[in-house]
């Protein structure tokens, strides 16, 4: 009887009952949790929007909106915040990603933002370039061993892995000032998988917080708990290594700049602790920052799963280029004409003038947004009017980048990779093109702080690789790795031309498998 009463209430009398959606979603969070588990929640939300329209009740307490107007309402002001469930994701202290208090978030964002401005990216460039060169070195390993082999294709490489190693090494270097070394030393590489596995657990928990009861999550995800522990141990180790750097080395690491900034902020602008003075303070504060950064690092670095962003964008770009000869050739021509040597490939006018390169990156982030899912927000007291619809306080609303980027009335031929749409929307294969619906980095006060850094990594790495190498997809059984399976009955998973994301909050991915040769 109680169950019957609960169902009647959810379907007819609940404050969100007027919004359409699958019956199962109105009653429980099971569907959302299930698709978090099967790593296709972004596709399920997209399919629901195809069926029910731009507003879908996707969980009993959550409405997914798929319009430009709605996401402006949800993400632009201070009438929403991060949902309470995010608190479970932090170890002791809230990270910038989990902070619920909007004022505290603004302060934290200001502090962290100093280390990630485009000027800061210029300062960090020489160190980041070292890692991009290591990446190219790894791709070219084994090539040109004898002059007779010059021009021969190398062994197949799994690009998802190599892109993860690159972005991990860059982030560890600029955040902690120490070396992550995954590109050159295979011994620690399992860490990217650990990050992925632990992210999957976190994502399922966000969607089904009931699993926290009696710590059921630990029983359901035993492997992921140990993966997370290993990852956090690594972060603590990095923090410890970072604290023993010289003063000059510390000045280049974001974590230390943040410490100085944090003190200044807390002391009316007087930086009382410009260096880390005692081991006790160091370990406590740095450990805390380690956890703070663990979320951000996880956001960036992943192998097959999870909180990863730049790496999947990079491997997706290689995927699309390897499958589109005309796009590949146009881009190769732009890069090789623009730069006369790889040393010229760095931030500046020449790189900015590579408009086709930028269009390819933007198109990757549109069709394959690394944060594909809806980053849902909790409505604060007073409620909120979202695209003309009332969502009362305490309930959740969000917009999924994958869904809105695939709206046919915002982007013509949304399932196709067409960089030209960013150059001349009304030109080649022209059709509707609505840049206001483009939200890979989100917009508003919680938008991505690492945008400049991410663009640097993507533009410079792709340019450097194309300057040095030709590449192609392998033949045979691995040719399609990374794309959808045309035999799949699941819309979204059956598009062989679209790089597949495995949604775990950010995303996992595999492939493409490519071969390289020195450019001819």
Task: Give the residue ranges of the annotated binding site for heme.
Answer: 448
The 87-116 site mask, x for binding ligand HEM (CB under 6 A), equals ---------xx-----------x--x---x
Is the Cβ of residue 121 or residue 474 nearer to ligand HEM in the bound state? 121
> Which of 395, 441, 467, 516 is the binder for ligand HEM (CB under 6 A)?
441
> Which of 85, 240, 448, 479 is the binder for ligand HEM (CB under 6 A)?
448
Determine, following the binding rule CB under 6 A, whether residue 449 of this chain makes contact with ligand HEM. Answer: yes
| Number of residues engaging ligand HEM in binding (CB under 6 A) | 23
With beta carbons less than 8 A apart as the criterion, state whether 86 and 505 touch: no
State the residue for tokens 């340019």. Answer: 463
Print the SS3 string covering 9-26.
HHHHHCCCCCCCCCHHHH
Determine, following the binding rule CB under 6 A, whether residue 306 of this chain makes contact with ligand HEM. Answer: no
Footprint (CB under 6 A) of ligand HEM, residues 129-168? none
Determine, following the binding rule CB under 6 A, whether residue 370 of this chain makes contact with ligand HEM. Answer: yes
Q: Name the DSSP letter for residue 437.
A: G
Specify the stretch interacting with ligand HEM by CB under 6 A; choose among 54-62, 135-143, 369-377, 380-388.
Answer: 369-377
Determine, following the binding rule CB under 6 A, whether residue 292 of this chain makes contact with ligand HEM. Answer: no
CB of 166 to ligand HEM, least distance (A): 12
CA distances from 87 to 100, 215, 227, 456 (A): 8, 15, 20, 32
Whole-angstrom distance, CA of residue 387 vs CA of residue 314: 34
Determine, following the binding rule CB under 6 A, whether residue 299 of this chain makes contact with ligand HEM. Answer: yes
Tokens encoding 340: 């006369």
> Which of 195, 232, 313, 359 is the binder for ligand HEM (CB under 6 A)?
313
Specify the stretch interacting with ligand HEM by CB under 6 A; choose among 6-14, 392-400, 423-431, 442-450.
Answer: 442-450
Residue 83's nearest CA partner among 400, 379, 442, 382 is: 379
> Which of 70, 128, 178, 300 is the binder for ligand HEM (CB under 6 A)?
300
CB of 371 to ligand HEM, least distance (A): 4
Q: What are phi and psi of 377, to 5 degrees?
A: -120, 150
Alpha helices by DSSP H, 303-450: 310-323, 325-338, 349-352, 355-367, 401-405
Helix (H, G, I), strand (E, B) or coil at 88: helix
DSSP string, 172-211: HHHHHSS---TTT-GGGTHHHHHHHHHHHHHHHHHH-GGG
Determine, following the binding rule CB under 6 A, whether residue 465 of this chain makes contact with ligand HEM. Answer: no
Is the Cβ of residue 369 or residue 511 nearer to ligand HEM in the bound state? 369
Is the Cβ of residue 277 or residue 436 nearer to ligand HEM in the bound state? 436
> Which of 160, 258, 453, 481 is the binder for ligand HEM (CB under 6 A)?
453
Is the Cβ of residue 43 or residue 206 nearer to ligand HEM in the bound state? 206
Helix (H, G, I), strand (E, B) or coil at 513: strand
Determine, following the binding rule CB under 6 A, whether residue 282 of this chain makes contact with ligand HEM. Answer: no
Is the Cβ of residue 87 or residue 144 nearer to ligand HEM in the bound state? 87
Whole-angstrom distance, CA of residue 392 vs CA of residue 402: 26
Whole-angstrom distance, CA of residue 108 vs CA of residue 122: 22
Is the Cβ of residue 357 or residue 453 nearer to ligand HEM in the bound state? 453
Determine, following the binding rule CB under 6 A, whether residue 372 of this chain makes contact with ligand HEM. Answer: no
**Backbone torsion region of residue 394, taken as left when φ is above 0, otherwise alpha when ψ lies between -120 and 50, otherwise beta:** left
Residue 302's nearest CA partner among 419, 189, 223 is: 189
CB of 446 to ligand HEM, least distance (A): 4
> Which of 180, 419, 440, 511 is the binder for ligand HEM (CB under 6 A)?
440
H and E: helices and strands count for the chain: 21, 12
Whole-angstrom distance, CA of residue 241 vs CA of residue 256: 12
Is the Cβ of residue 367 or residue 453 nearer to ligand HEM in the bound state? 453
Is the Cβ of residue 234 or residue 314 nearer to ligand HEM in the bound state? 314
With beta carbons less than 8 A apart as the criterion, state whether 363 and 327 touch: no
Query: Cis omega before residue 442 (within 30°)?
Result: no
Is the Cβ of residue 250 or residue 446 nearer to ligand HEM in the bound state? 446
> Which of 181, 296, 304, 317 is the binder for ligand HEM (CB under 6 A)?
296
The 42-81 site mask, x for binding ligand HEM (CB under 6 A), equals ----------------------------------------
Whole-angstrom distance, CA of residue 433 vs CA of residue 388: 24
Specify the stretch interacting with ligand HEM by CB under 6 A; choose among 153-161, 402-410, 421-429, 445-453.
Answer: 445-453
Determine, following the binding rule CB under 6 A, whether residue 399 of this chain makes contact with ligand HEM. Answer: no
Is the Cβ of residue 134 or residue 296 nearer to ligand HEM in the bound state? 296
Tokens encoding 193: 């998988």
Whole-angstrom distance, CA of residue 289 vs CA of residue 443: 25
> Which of 260, 371, 372, 374 is the binder for ligand HEM (CB under 6 A)?
371
Helix (H, G, I), strand (E, B) or coil at 378: strand
**Residues contributing to the site for ligand HEM (CB under 6 A):** 96-97, 109, 112, 116, 296, 299-300, 309-310, 313, 370-371, 375, 440-442, 446, 448-450, 453-454
């Amino acid at each position: 009887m109680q169950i019957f009463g609960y169902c009647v209430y959810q379907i007819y009398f609940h404050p969100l009952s007027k919004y359409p959606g699958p019956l199962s979603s109105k009653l429980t969070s099971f569907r959302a949790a299930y698709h978090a588990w099967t790593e296709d929640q972004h596709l399920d939300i997209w399919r629901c929007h195809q069926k029910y329209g731009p507003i879908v009740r996707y969980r009993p307490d959550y409405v997914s909106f798929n319009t430009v107007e709605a996401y402006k309402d949800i993400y632009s002001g201070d009438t929403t915040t991060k949902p309470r469930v995010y608190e479970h994701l932090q170890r002791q202290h809230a990270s910038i990603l989990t902070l619920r208090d909007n004022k505290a978030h603004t302060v934290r964002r200001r502090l962290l933002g100093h280390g990630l401005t485009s000027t800061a990216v210029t300062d960090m460039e020489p160190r980041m370039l070292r890692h991009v060169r290591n990446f190219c070195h790894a791709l070219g390993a084994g090539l040109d061993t004898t002059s007779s082999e010059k021009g021969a294709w190398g062994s197949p490489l799994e690009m998802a892995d190599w892109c993860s190693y690159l972005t991990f090494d860059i982030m560890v270097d600029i955040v902690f000032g120490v070396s992550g070394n995954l590109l050159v030393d295979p011994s620690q590489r399992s860490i990217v998988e650990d990050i992925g596995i632990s992210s999957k657990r976190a994502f399922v928990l966000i969607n089904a917080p009931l699993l926290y009861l009696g710590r059921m999550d630990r029983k359901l995800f035993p492997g992921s708990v140990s993966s997370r522990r290993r990852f956090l141990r690594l972060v603590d180790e990095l923090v410890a290594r970072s604290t023993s750097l010289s003063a000059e080395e510390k000045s280049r690491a974001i974590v230390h700049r943040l410490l100085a900034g944090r003190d200044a902020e807390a002391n009316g602008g007087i930086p009382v602790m410009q260096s880390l003075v005692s081991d006790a303070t160091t370990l406590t504060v740095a450990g805390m920052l380690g956890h703070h950064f663990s979320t951000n690092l996880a956001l960036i670095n992943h192998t097959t799963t999870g909180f990863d962003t730049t790496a999947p964008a990079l491997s997706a770009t290689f995927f699309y280029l390897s499958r589109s000869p005309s796009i590949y050739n146009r881009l190769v021509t732009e890069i090789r004409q623009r730069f006369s040597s790889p040393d010229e490939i760095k931030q500046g006018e020449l790189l900015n003038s590579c408009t086709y390169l930028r269009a390819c990156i933007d198109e990757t982030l549109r069709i394959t947004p690394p944060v594909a899912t809806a980053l849902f927000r909790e409505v604060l007291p007073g409620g909120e009017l979202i695209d003309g619809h009332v969502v009362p306080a305490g309930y959740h609303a969000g917009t999924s980048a994958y869904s809105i980027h695939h709206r046919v009335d915002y982007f013509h031929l949304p399932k196709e990779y067409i960089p030209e749409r960013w150059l001349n929307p009304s030109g080649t294969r022209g059709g509707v093109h609505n840049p206001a619906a483009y939200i890979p980095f989100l917009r508003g006060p919680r938008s991505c702080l690492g945008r400049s850094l991410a663009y640097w990594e993507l533009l410079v790495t792709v340019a450097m690789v194309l300057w040095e190498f030709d590449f192609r997809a392998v033949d045979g059984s691995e040719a399609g790795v990374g794309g959808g399976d045309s035999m799949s009955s699941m819309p979204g998973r059956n598009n062989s031309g679209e790089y597949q994301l495995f949604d775990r909050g950010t995303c996992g991915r595999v492939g493409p498998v490519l071969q390289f040769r020195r450019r001819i």
